[in-house]
Amino acid sequence: MLKIYLARHGQDKDNASGILNGYRDEPLTELGLEQAKTLAKEIVAAGLHFDAVYSSPLRRAYTTAETITDALGIAKPVVMQDLIERDFGIMTGKATKDITKLCAPDILQADPITYFLSPEGAETFQDLIERGKRVIKEIQEKYKDGNVLLVAHGDFGKMIYAAYYNLDWKSVLLMFHFGNSELLLLSEDSSPEEAHVFKFKQYNH
């Protein structure tokens, strides 16, 4: 049986500053590096092994992925372009605190995040689900069993989860928070409610 593990990157400079990053490519903060190391230690302590690790091309994800592969002593992460974060369109670089002011009423209020739905130039959540299905299909075609780790981002990570379990995107946005360096399990023998493997104290959204 194939088990797909899905991690979100550690805190980056935009996260810490309350800036919407999207395709912006800021490095991890010191806290973000510690979060990545903590996740790697938890993975090692749990005895998890990965047959392959794939990462978004953005360095906040790749550094997190590389921290894990180094801790496990396995091959470096493979960059998968489709794992990149959602294109935030005109909201890229804007302050998170301004989402409601700039995007209401086209928003969805979750805990603790306010999601903007379709500002100019941004991928929609339905777009992300379609991209998530493409990622899952590619992994399932390459691996029939074993464990594969994907290191991605908050918005897109949740839509990979939605795509895998065939869930409505709105329901998933409201269902749980996918925090920095948290790990999800997507598997035939793991229900959606059991997806969180590791949860950590969060310092930002």
49 flagged as catalytic? no
Beta strands in the chain (DSSP E): 2-8, 52-55, 78-79, 107-109, 114-116, 146-152, 183-186, 196-198
Contact 155, 86 (CB under 8 A): yes
177 flagged as catalytic? no
Q: Which residue has the tokens 């946005």?
A: 173
The active-site residue out of 9, 49, 196, 205 is 9
What is the H or E stretch that residue 34 is in? helix 30-45
Termini Cα distance of the chain:
33
The active-site residue out of 153, 177, 196, 205 is 153
pLDDT of residue 192: 79
Per residue in 172-202, pLDDT tens? 999 999 999 999 999 998 877 777 776 666 6
- All residue ranges of the chain with pLDDT < 50 are none
**Amino acid occupying residue 25:** D
pLDDT of residue 181: 95
| CATH topology classification for 2-198 | Rossmann fold (3.40.50)
Of 125, 126, 94, which Cα lies nearest the Cα of 110? Answer: 125
pLDDT of residue 191: 78
Per residue in 22-51, pLDDT tens? 999 999 999 999 999 999 999 999 999 999
